[in-house]
Amino acid sequence: MDNYLDSFREMISLRGLTTHTLKNYCTYIRAYLDYLSSVLRKLPEDVSWDELRVYIRWLKRSRNLSDRTVNCAISQLRFFTLYVLHKPWDDTQLPMRKFDEYLPFVPSKEEVSILIDAMPDLKQKAMVSLMYSSGLRIGEVCHLRYEDIERKNMRIHIRHGKNRSDRYAILSKRALDILTSYWFAFGRPRGWLFPKQTCPDKPIDTFYLSRHIHAVERSLGWEERITCHSLRHAFGTHLYEDGTDLLTIKALLGHKSLNSTTIYVHLASNGTHTAISPFDRMEGVSHE
């Protein structure tokens, strides 16, 4: 089965997908190939649609996967079938699953301020400040370089974001002050702004910050609800609450579609719940 996995990796590389995407895609294809070897004892090209459906049900049950994650596995199977096996794919044989969508938790402005003030380490404080003040993804913060911070123009150059496109993000004066203090205290890094401690030639790992955020939450007596992405959502939500239009927020966050940005209408404290029902407006209406 190794030959199939090698071919899969090659086709992903030919499409120019990122290393991160390659790793994610291989996760469930590797599980699928293991399943074929140990359970079905079949080659991939000999698997029927019925057997594929059984596999998806087994995968969801055995790994307790969400419907959204199951859809990712189906997408990977589709890619594998089309580009490795060179066989047609029929969406009616293995449809995508419906899934529930939930609004993410967004800390208030006060909670963000308390969190940042409580961060005990300048590196962690600088990273959290940048995520909130500029709406950056954790991966974008980790991959910042010294030259990306444009102090003269008060903006941050984000290189190859999630949608593989560059953009400029806001550089907050307060965040810059914290970042400057960090820079002097941590050896004035000129390459990666947040280098990996054990290997300065590489950027810090994306999982570095989460445990420190949760540690601060525990010290404050809070539930562990804030994630790195919560701070990005807080940036978008608080901008909308302060009157910034959605198109500007879309550009600052680097969203590909405005649909991704409209979530902040629902999350904002002055969003949809401030609308007055037409039924309440009828009070006192004359029916003569």
b/e for 189-221, b at 16 or more Cβ within 10 A?
A: eeebbbbeeeeeeebbebebbeebbbebbeeee
Catalytic residue list:
137, 162, 229, 232, 255, 264
Rounded Cα gap, residues 132 and 172, in angstroms: 10
Measured in whole angstroms, how far is the alpha carbon of residue 189 from the centre of its chain?
Answer: 26
122 burial level (CB within 10 Å; 0-12, 13-18, 19+): middle
CA distances from 3 to 16, 33, 207 (A): 20, 11, 32
Q: Which two tokens stand for residue 75?
A: 């997408």
As a whole number of angstroms, the longest Cα–Cα distance in the chain is: 81
Neighbours of 26 (CB within 10 A): 16
Rounded Cα gap, residues 62 and 166, in angstroms: 40
Rounded Cα gap, residues 130 and 140, in angstroms: 10
Q: Which two tokens stand for residue 38?
A: 């140990």
Q: Which two tokens stand for residue 71?
A: 């859809």
